Amino acid sequence: MSLDSVTLEILRNQLESVAEEMGQVLITGAYSPNIKERRDCSTALFDADGRMVAQAEHIPVHLGAMPEAVSAVRKRDPEPGETFVLNDPFAGGTHLPDVTLVSPLAPRGEVVGYAVSRAHHADVGGSVPGSMPAGAREIYEEGLRIPAVRLVRDGEINDDVMELLLANVRNPTERRADLRAQLAANDRAEERLGDLFSEHGEDVVKEGFDAVIEYSRERIEREIRELPDGTYGASDVLEGDGVTEEEIPIEATVTIEGASIEVDFEGTADQVAGNLNAPLAVAKSAVYFVVRCVTDPEIPPNHGCYDPVSVVAPEGSLLNPRVPAAVVGGNVETSQRVTDTVFLALAKAAPERVPAQGQGTMNNLTIGGRTGGFTYYETIGGGFGARAESDGMDGVQVGMTNTLNTPVESLETEYPMRVEEYSLRADSGGRGRHRGGLGLVRSVTVEEPATVSLLTERRRHAPRGVAGGEDGSVGENLVNGESVPAKTTRDVSPGTTITLRTPGGGGHGDPAERDPDLEERDRTDGKVTEE
């Protein structure tokens, strides 16, 4: 590497700024609340070999899987002036609502990299509004499946492809606007990369691609070497697949050897009838996320971070399913349990670096008008696990998602819905020397005939405390005050109220050692009501 350290640091920050600016263009240009308010989207910059160079710190489950999307596009011989659209979980995607655009970058005529934007669209067709049916048995029920196809050719949108996509979704006007926001984000990447070529020279920027990747690889390998060599195993379960209530085991064996980590999911359940199957790219995302957490999260996230980490899952299993497996819940719920399981395994190697378990679910709530008039989707926060030196955070997204909430004002403006309650859930965090974070209560009333889909977890098995800390509270789903299954899709009439009580995080350490001043503060704040 011939770049001096100052030039390397300047280029690293500038390349990351390209990815961040892409994200800002996407968020400000989008039409749907799911993207413009919740920011359920991600952006990244890749080199010509399909290696991730820089990513915006958006959604973890998106970002580790993006290289698969670039690989799928590179097989189609992309040319300058083209943009590909895809969402096929078996060929570069994660689940169907996550629509990805990949654009070759050629500021001076030669393809030197790729811009990638991925956004969760509130509907992509399928059997129910919102495209997240709880009881789906095949991917065809979950929406329109798109392999890598050219949405833009010679700088112009392919109207035939666009109209085909829009004919198969609800709210086509919203979908068109969100896709155009993604196109604008990718265009901005090429513009900014051209600016860097003008500032530093094309050869220096290309060398910078290699240098920032190597910089991250060296740093994470150094961190991995500090972990004790050995083989560490753990297991956990999912609470049914939406078709049956039978528990689904996930087994992880983590092997640390020198500067490398291998995670093998041999022993995990075979692919299931319901939609909790997760493409291998999703399992990889979860593993990469955990490795970053237990090493140094400040290491620049790019291909170099992931190179020393390998992930193995048997073909035909829950974490490497075959077509036509349903997968929409795998991206959002199974990914969370993979994260929990790998954390449990690595806690045996580095217990001081692993917190108590957080809520372990995204609490997916989808509500859509039966006439196609609206589709609302939201993941709802809960408790973060307590850590060795501090309480868990209250009412936040945990693990594989990092979205904001939909503000009450926006929700009630955009949808025929009314928010009845949005509050912290008292007493839901596990007791300990440090308390687990609190879950939330989110209660909404639907004012039109609608279809409601719930994909949730941790309704039977509580998030675990550690080092003597108590478990957090399990979650609960209610329709008009009556408990309903963790995974369900049902039609509701106007005036129906849907309530999610999300799980709290586990506690850390002996509750008897908690600072009395902290206990009193929690009681004063209404976070704890029990003595």
306 contact partners, CB below 8 Å, separation of at least 6: 52, 64, 67, 284, 288
Token pair for 483: 């408990």
The candidate with the shortest Cα–Cα distance to 331, out of 470, 476, 132, is 132
- What pLDDT shows up at residue 235? 98
Distance CA 141, CA 126 (A): 5
pLDDT digits (tens, 9 = 90+) for 33-89: 999 999 999 999 999 999 999 999 788 888 778 999 999 999 999 999 999 999 999
- Mean pLDDT for the stretch of residues 84-106: 97
CB atoms closer than 10 angstroms to residue 413: 9
- What pLDDT shows up at residue 278? 98
SS3 string of 405-451?
CCCHHHHHHHCCEEEEEEEECCCCCCCCCECCCCCEEEEEEECCCEE
Say if residues 145 and 235 touch (Cβ distance below 8 Å).
Answer: no
Which residue matches tokens 């973890």? 60
Distance CA 106, CA 125 (A): 34
Distance CA 78, CA 365 (A): 37
530 has a pLDDT exceeding 80: no
286 contact partners, CB below 8 Å, separation of at least 6: 60, 61, 64, 335, 336, 338, 339, 342, 399, 400
pLDDT digits (tens, 9 = 90+) for 304-348: 999 999 999 999 999 999 999 999 999 999 999 999 999 999 999
CB-hemisphere CA count at 13 Å for 354?
22
Say if residues 103 and 299 touch (Cβ distance below 8 Å).
Answer: no
Where is 253: in which H helix or E strand? Answer: strand 247-257
- What pLDDT shows up at residue 57? 77
- What pLDDT shows up at residue 371? 83
- What pLDDT shows up at residue 531? 67
Distance CA 486, CA 476 (A): 8
Angle at alpha carbon of residue 27, lines to 421 and 98, rounded to 5°: 80
- Mean pLDDT for the stretch of residues 496-521: 97
Residue 437 backbone dihedrals phi, psi, to 5 degrees: -65, 155
pLDDT digits (tens, 9 = 90+) for 179-189: 999 999 999 99
The candidate with the shortest Cα–Cα distance to 251, out of 275, 233, 225, 239, is 233
Token pair for 212: 């920032």
- What pLDDT shows up at residue 1? 53
Q: Where are the alpha helices (DSSP H) in 201-246?
A: 202-225
Distance CA 354, CA 220 (A): 17
Residue 139 backbone dihedrals phi, psi, to 5 degrees: -65, -25
256 has a pLDDT exceeding 90: yes
528 has a pLDDT exceeding 80: yes
Q: What is the mean pLDDT of the chain?
A: 96
Q: What is the pTM of this model?
A: 0.96
- For the chain, what percent of residues have pLDDT higher than 90? 96
The candidate with the shortest Cα–Cα distance to 457, out of 254, 278, 270, is 278
pLDDT digits (tens, 9 = 90+) for 266-300: 999 999 999 999 999 999 999 999 999 999 999 99
SS3 of residue 314 by DSSP: coil
End-to-end CA distance of the chain: 61
pLDDT digits (tens, 9 = 90+) for 410-448: 999 999 999 999 999 999 999 999 999 999 999 999 999
- Mean pLDDT for the stretch of residues 119-148: 97
- Mean pLDDT for the stretch of residues 511-515: 97
353 contact partners, CB below 8 Å, separation of at least 6: 293, 294, 346
| DSSP one-letter string for 444-470 | EEE-S-EEEEEE---SSSPPPPBTTPP
Q: How many residues does the chain have?
A: 531
Distance CA 81, CA 156 (A): 8
